[in-house]
Amino acid sequence: MKVLLFGGAGYIGTHVAISFLERGDTVGIYDNLSSGLLENVQKGSKFYLGDIMDREKVSEVLSEGWDAVVHLAAAKAAGESMTNPEKYSRYNITGSLILITECIRHSVKNFILSSSAATFGEPGYVPIDEKHPTNPTNYYGYTKLLIEENLKWYSKLKGLNFVALRYFNAAGYDTEGRMTGLERSPQNLIPIVMEAATGKREKIVIFGDDYDTPDGTCIRDYVHVSDLARAHVMAADFLIKEKRNLIVNLGSEKGLSVKEIVEASRRITGVDIRSEIGPRRAGDPAKLIASSKLAEKELGWKAEESDLYTIIKSTWDVYKRYN
């Protein structure tokens, strides 16, 4: 299969490239390197330097003919989206619509969207299944939901089939060390804890300990990025075989609190990571845990490397080199 990954040099995209390359697919990587890194572009793939806002360049690369497109080119920090929504309107909404409409023009039939659990907002019940109402509490989640909705329309009107993968909290690194470049200015919990462990940061600030959870800190479902990556390959096969749309959750089905992550990181790194409690961050739901039953039923997917030890250890193995 010939697959083009927009945002394929980023944190998740690199792992997705590894999964497709592993089974011998032809992989193109389109990235503006704003957060992605050239160092992460995998051997055996073809790299295109470009921005998804550049319609001409997107069109030129799509004209080479692709069996499937994976769209991972987006800004992804829920907290930042509440203070700088303009950035999210531009890349996540306008950029995605440029990409989708160019895919239609070039008769791409199979589209995989990197979506998010942030589409749900504050859960009415957990585990969250795909029937759960969508009510994003941050602007980032709204941008993902809007693109899912557009894909439904374009599917109806223009015959594009799509799979939207609603990632819960992506974490961990390739356990075989094929991704070496670290994310620049990471904003997610585990990389920040790792930076506190290497001394790049003085401490980790825990955003609120007065949530309605057992230890008062937010609970999230951390899913290993290599598990997420495999789901993209399965989604591409699904689209080619089934020729229909699918929106699925991808999570480990286990919840971990911020404090549990910090404590496990102390144990696994052997570093006495400093932490302090700070105020809540706007837009943070107290508890997100996935039901991934539908992904198992439709794609045959299940999290396999998403245990806490593998997630923290594989991340530390990459970060400790920068110690």
Q: Residue 297: CB partners within 8 Å, gap ≥ 6?
A: none
Does 78 contact ligand UFG by CB under 6 A?
yes
In angstroms, the CA 290 to CA 254 distance is 8
Does 253 contact ligand UFG by CB under 6 A?
no
48 is catalytic: no
Does 281 contact ligand UFG by CB under 6 A?
yes
Does 9 contact ligand UFG by CB under 6 A?
no
Least distance in Å: CB of 131 to ligand UFG?
18
Does 224 contact ligand UFG by CB under 6 A?
no
Burial string for 42-75 (b: 16+ CB within 10 Å, else e) reads: beebebbebbbeeeebbeebbeeebbbbbbbbbb
Does 71 contact ligand UFG by CB under 6 A?
no
**Residue range at the interface with ligand UFG (CB under 6 A); choices 29-37, 203-211, 242-250, 292-300:** 203-211
Choice between 35 and 188, CB closer to ligand UFG: 188
Choice between 220 and 232, CB closer to ligand UFG: 220
Does 169 contact ligand UFG by CB under 6 A?
yes
**Residue range at the interface with ligand UFG (CB under 6 A); choices 7-15, 20-28, 54-62, 281-289:** 281-289
**Residue range at the interface with ligand UFG (CB under 6 A); choices 2-10, 50-58, 116-124, 150-158:** 116-124
In angstroms, the CA 212 to CA 196 distance is 27
Does 206 contact ligand UFG by CB under 6 A?
yes
Out of 5, 70, 160, 189, the residue judged to bind ligand UFG by CB under 6 A:
189
99 within 8 A of 58, measured Cβ to Cβ: yes
DSSP assignment of 35-55: SS-GGGSPTTSEEEE--TT-H
Number of amino acids touching ligand UFG (CB under 6 A): 22
Closest to 244 in 3D by CA, of 154, 148, 161: 161
Q: Residue 85: CB partners within 8 Å, gap ≥ 6?
A: 139
Which tokens hold the place of 247?
A: 């929106």
Residue recorded with tokens 């030129």: 60
Choice between 288 and 308, CB closer to ligand UFG: 288
- Strand (E) or helix (H) holding 141: helix 139-158
Out of 69, 117, 145, 318, the residue judged to bind ligand UFG by CB under 6 A:
117
As annotated, the active-site residues are 140
